[in-house]
Amino acid sequence: MALASMFPRPATALEVVSRFFSVVKAKADEETAAKAAARTTDKSSPTIFDKIVKKEIPATIVYEDEKVLAFRDINPQAPVHVVLIPKDRDGLTQLSKSDPRHKDILGHLLYSVKVIADQEGLTDGYRVVINDGPNGCQSVYHLHLHILGGRQLKWPPG
Ligand code: AMP
């Protein structure tokens, strides 16, 4: 192996600036997509997650029981990024649409997070995120919990 490839050179100022702007652009794209989804989505129509539940499209499923399904996010934001959903959406397009009849499934989802985090070996901690509505950058209108871990996460989020 060439010595130069063992000691990669530090990033140039131009590369650092360019990386910064690509992160800013990605965040702006997510916000634009979330706002468009909130405006244009018929919230009562099935989402891509229904197709995953019905196994009509592939997903890397990491956990499943009679009520919930968890699969790896297609665009992971951390070494472990799992999306956990109720199999039956039952009106839960987003957390803010929940009502008292959803208390059981909401508790079931939260306990499933713990089971999945154990299974994924997230012994040093992890984060659970629910994006709600356009300001929360929600893009899929089927309630879901993001389980993120496997690296040091920063706080506060953007
Ligand atoms: P949110 O922006 O909170 O609505 O999150 C939706 C998440 O679903 C995003 O992190 C996407 O990357 C993820 N996602 C969308 N389609 C798929 C898919 N087919 N398989 C796995 N994850 C997906």
pLDDT digits (tens, 9 = 90+) for 130-155: 999 999 999 999 999 999 999 999 99
pLDDT of residue 116: 99
Q: CB-based burial of residue 129 (10 Å sphere; 0-12 exposed, 13-18 middle, 19+ buried)?
A: middle
Q: Does ligand 1 have an atom closer than 6 angstroms to the CB of 59?
A: yes
pLDDT tens-digit readout, 14-28: 555 555 555 556 667
Read off the pLDDT of residues 70-126 as tens digits, 9 standing for 90 and up.
999 999 999 999 999 999 999 999 999 999 999 999 999 999 999 999 999 999 999
How far is ligand 1, taken at its centre, from the CA of residue 73, in Å? 6
C-alpha distances (whole Å) from 128 to each of 9, 30, 110 are 36, 19, 9
- Which is it for strands 68-72 and 80-86: parallel, antiparallel or unpaired? antiparallel
Atom of ligand 1 nearest to the CA of 72: 21
- Which atom of ligand 1 lies nearest, measured to the CA of 73? 22
Ligand 1 touching residue 41 (CB < 6 A): no
pLDDT for residue 18 = 55
> CB of 85 closer than 6 A to ligand 1?
no
